[in-house]
Structure 1
Amino acid sequence: MDSNMIFNIVALGFIVWFFYSRFAGVKGLRSLSSEQFQEAMGSDKNKYTLIDVREPGEVKQGYIPGAVNISLSTIGKRVSEIPKDRPIYLYCRSGMRSKQAARVLRKQGFNELSHLKGGLMSWNGKQVQ
């Protein structure tokens, strides 16, 4: 085997790992449709925490009422602001960043995690503009 082939194998392995780590499911994360998400949250906003993990500029375009904005880029630094004693509901624009945020929170000891499958693009409920 020449060094070029070894490099190609290592590069391919890295690419496969990268995509797997981005798209693989998160252990313990519930992926909920828009209807399931609304139903799971219920009407008592004191029983859960709803987090919009988009960047602040994106939130200006609209958000789910009651959501707190803790962007994916800052969630690791702001984890102390999130209560561990209640369910956490996460969403973003498409569902990818909320999965990544769930991975971060899972490593920090959060257990009751759900995210909006398809993100705001799939949301059928109210939005604040």
Structure 2
Amino acid sequence: MADITPAELLQRQKAGESPLILDVREPWEHEEGRIPGAQNIPLNSLPEKLDDLDEWKNQEIIVHCKGGGRATSAKAYLTQQGFTNVRNLEGGFQAYMAAGI
């Protein structure tokens, strides 16, 4: 699945869409700032939290981190686990915040 730009995500949110936004940053990073509606599961916790995401296996999941590196790893991992519609937020949280200003 193709990645998503911050502008596209912002537009979809303004239109009332609510895909699962998965923040794979550490909890302290999520507390400092977050995308509205994002669920925080740190990258290193994904294996033990897979059951929590089972209902999303065939639905769109948008993963993000600070700049994109951890989210790329999360996308690859989730895809390997059978998730069929995982997208990385291009540029991560930083790009999302810059796009929203």
Match of 1:85 in 2: 58
Q: 1:51 aligns with which of 22, 39, 57?
A: 22
Q: Which amino acid aligns with 2:21?
A: L
For 2:95, the equivalent position in structure 1 comes to: 122
Q: Partner of 1:114: helix, strand, or coil?
A: strand
The correspondence of residues 1-129 of structure 1 with structure 2, limited to 5 A, is 28=1, 30-40=2-12, 42-45=15-18, 48-82=19-53, 83-123=56-96, 124-125=99-100
How far does residue 33 in structure 1 lie from its aligned partner after superposition? 1.7
Question: Which 4+ stretches in 1 moved above 3 angstroms?
Answer: 39-42
- Equivalent residue pairs, number: 96
Structure number with bigger Rg = 1
Identity of aligned residues (%): 29
Unpaired stretches in structure 2, ≥5 consecutive residues: none
Shift of 1:44: 3.0
**CA RMSD for the aligned pairs?**
1.7
Unaligned runs of 5+ in 1: 1-27
Higher relative contact order (CA 8 A, sep 6+): 2
Shift of 1:40: 4.9
TM-score by length of 2: 0.84
The alignment partner of 2:45 has SS state of: coil
Q: Residue 115 of structure 1 aligns to which amino acid in structure 2?
A: N
C-alpha distance in structure 1 between counterparts of 2:51 and 2:59, whole Å: 14
